[in-house]
Structure 1
């Protein structure tokens, strides 16, 4: 299983803090399983994706295997 963590406002959009799905997981599969509202946000450049503890330079190259954790990282706000 691949564990997907929804952080910040993405958690509110998803309605859950995390979800487990069967791996492997590609970018397109991730967009399908997170739902349309979260997928729309993930397509934005300002939202990052981390897999197995590393932020991906190219999130569309995502390849998560069973046992991996994906964190969906919204932009940081504050001042």
Structure 2
């Protein structure tokens, strides 16, 4: 059974990948926010650079800050954005 999610990209991540959002049909083995990130990194190029594991990056699921182990369900929204700094 295919699960479709919405991806959203903000700030420098959006600038790097060139889009603000997209719909994505997840393969069965992709079940967590971290696995979604890995799937996008596997696209290579700007995706691998913008979402690389070592890069400081915040993630949210359904508009709540989350970690890589958070499960992803049908119709969910996964967002990626750089850490916010204040001053």
Question: Aligned-pair distance for 1:65?
Answer: 1.3
User: Hey, what does 1:73 align to over in structure 2?
Assistant: 81
CA distance in 2, matches of 1:78, 1:6: 20
Provide closer, same or farther for how the CA distance between residues 76 and 29 of structure 1 changes in structure 2, counting only shifts above 3 A.
closer
User: Hey, what does 2:12 align to over in structure 1?
Assistant: 9
User: Hey, what does 1:30 align to over in structure 2?
Assistant: 37
Superposition CA RMSD, Å = 2.1
Residue correspondences, number: 75
Cα shift readout 1:2-57 (whole Å, capped 9, x = no counterpart): 111100000011111112111464212332225201221x543x42111012111x
* Structure 1 gaps, min length 5: none
The answer to whether the 8 A contact 1:5-1:71 is kept is yes
* Structure 2 gaps, min length 5: 42-46
User: TM-score normalized by structure 1?
Assistant: 0.75
